[in-house]
Amino acid sequence: MSKLISPHGSDRLKPLFVTDADRNSALTREAEDLPSVLLSSASAANAVMLAGGYFNPLTGYMNRADALSVASHMQTTDGLFWPTPVLNLVESSGGIEPGARIALQDPNVDGHPVLAVMDVEAVERFSDAEMAAMTEKVYGTNDKDHPGVAAFNSQGQVALSGPIRVLNFSYFKTDFPDTFRTAVEIRDEISAHSWSKVVAFQTRNPMHRAHEELCHLAMQRLGADGLVIHMLLGKLKPGDIPADVRDAAIRKMVELYFPPNSAIVTGYGFDMLYAGPREALLHAVFRQNMGATHLIVGRDHAGVGDYYGAFDAQTIFNDVPEDALKIKIFEADHTAYSKKLNKVVMMSEAPDHIKEDFVILSGTRVREMLGKGEAPPAEFSRPEVAQILMDYYQKLDA
């Protein structure tokens, strides 16, 4: 049995999901009589990540001091490295006071069932200046047109903090039964494969040839035993391809173009932050928690628009204390198919090439082609993957 990388901040994972069926049922019944708060989608996603062990070793939502410290210094007040605040923000406390036990309702499931039970330790309000400072530090901007900035600042300024016990995994288990996995489950699967060196690939999009070859390249250069393709299953900005379509496209690619038992396709229940460099650090934290030893960080990782430099998500790792993370980064440049070499390469490793030597298509152009039922060139996208995407876009236009 291979020895897996240690989780972040502890010797073993401490997921906050209540696994004991009797205890879960008892808490669910108790919650019916508790004061309740309807969570924001972001707070619900935080609960799901805490439940699955991805946010180990956190025990619940951060208080004001920890959130401000994390935003400013990337560590909690007790010194734990953490790159983004994990908050339960609400518009108003609704009379809830420290010491209360409350039920947290799921905003993303019909009827708003109870997602978790929380013991409230503090009820604190962030000032406008504090919200602006946190936003600037985490997102690198206060521009309200940035989807992450807009989502963060739409929740409210009152933070309810304290430990939580999570009773279910929201809609992720039911909507994505074959794909959603907790950090605990992925660790178990890695162990079952006897992998010790494991590469994680983050995606919120379908994977084209360049992504596929980048994964092969990283595994080859690192001498990795296996690959975990780990897709975001939560809320995205308008225009992004929905998770079920991405899932089908990626599974088809792995089925046809990866050796058997070399890659597993999984997903996690979180809303995209679009926080670029800070989100890349968060990706590293929870990929370590799920058992990956390496994370591929590419050009404009977790970015949006022109808010971040092409390689800011790589260079930010230079600011991380040496002992803060055990997971390592595989730095990737933009990858594209070389007409000269007849294969996908990292563009920085082809110095004798000019732009016209590569097959490069903008996202807009690819969407236009797919919407018209035109498959992108085989050098850009596998035909079987393109077909799944064409079917999706043509239904949109129908």
Q: Which residue of the set 12, 56, 63, 204 is catalytic? A: 204
Our answer to whether residue 108 is catalytic in this structure is: no
Q: What is the spatial distance between Cα 155 and Cα 164, in angstroms, rounded to a whole number?
A: 19
Beta strands in 251-319 (DSSP E): 263-268, 294-297
Our answer to whether residue 153 is catalytic in this structure is: no
Q: Which amino acid is at 380?
A: F
Q: What is the spatial distance between Cα 348 and Cα 331, in angstroms, rounded to a whole number?
A: 12
Q: How far apart are the first and last CA of the chain?
A: 52
Give backbone dihedrals phi and psi of 228, rounded to 5 degrees, phi first: -115, 110
Q: Which residue of the set 101, 205, 251, 367 is catalytic? A: 205
What pairs with residue 243 in β-bridges? none
* Closest C-alpha to 70, from 130, 118, 15, 29: 130
Long-range contacts of 361-368 (CB under 8 A, 24+ apart): 367/393
Contact 250, 203 (CB under 8 A): yes
Contact 189, 137 (CB under 8 A): no
- Burial of 248-270, coded b for 16+ CB within 10 Å and e otherwise, reads bbbbbbbeebbeeebbbbbbbbb
Angle at 47 between CA 230 and CA 325, to 5 degrees: 55
Residue 202, helix vs strand vs coil: strand
Contact 88, 50 (CB under 8 A): no
Beta strands in the chain (DSSP E): 36-38, 60-61, 89-90, 101-105, 114-119, 122-125, 158-166, 198-203, 226-232, 263-268, 294-297, 328-331, 335-338, 343-346, 358-359
Q: Quote the crossing angle between the two packed helices 383-397 and 363-371, to the nearest 10°.
A: 70
Residue 156, helix vs strand vs coil: coil
Give backbone dihedrals phi and psi of 377, rounded to 5 degrees, phi first: -55, 145
Catalytically active residues, by annotation: 204-205
